[in-house]
């Protein structure tokens, strides 16, 4: 079962995440199937770049979307 979720990147105190497709049972920072974008939270706001076409494709083939990623896609 595939899931679209966040994986944490960067160093301590700097919230940087990648939006990825991976197997649901794998570790959070384990191997991913495809990179779909990134999110960076800073003191001045949130920067993000998402490939919404690829997210729609993965949802169409049966991948589920985590609640956090769903909020990011809808914003």
pTM above 0.85, yes or no: yes
In the predicted structure, residue 12 carries a pLDDT above the cut 90: no
Other Cβ atoms within 10 Å of 52 Cβ, number: 10
- Give the chain's domains with CATH numbers: 2-74 (3.30.1320.10)
Tokens for 3, please give them: 């899931």
In the predicted model, what is the mean pLDDT of residues 7-14? 85
In the predicted structure, residue 11 carries a pLDDT above the cut 90: no
In the predicted structure, residue 14 carries a pLDDT above the cut 90: no
Write out pLDDT tens, residues 18-71. Answer: 999 999 888 877 789 999 999 998 888 889 999 999 999 999 999 999 999 999
The closest alpha carbon to 6, from 17, 54, 16, 47, belongs to 17
SS3 73: helix
């Amino acid at each position: 079962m595939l899931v679209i979720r966040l994986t944490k990147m960067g160093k301590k105190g700097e919230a940087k995440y990648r939006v990825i497709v991976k197997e649901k049972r794998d570790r959070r920072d384990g191997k991913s199937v495809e990179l779909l974008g990134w999110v960076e939270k800073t003191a001045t706001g949130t920067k993000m770049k998402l490939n919404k076409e690829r997210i729609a494709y993965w949802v169409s083939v049966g991948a589920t979307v985590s609640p956090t990623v769903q909020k990011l896609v809808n914003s």
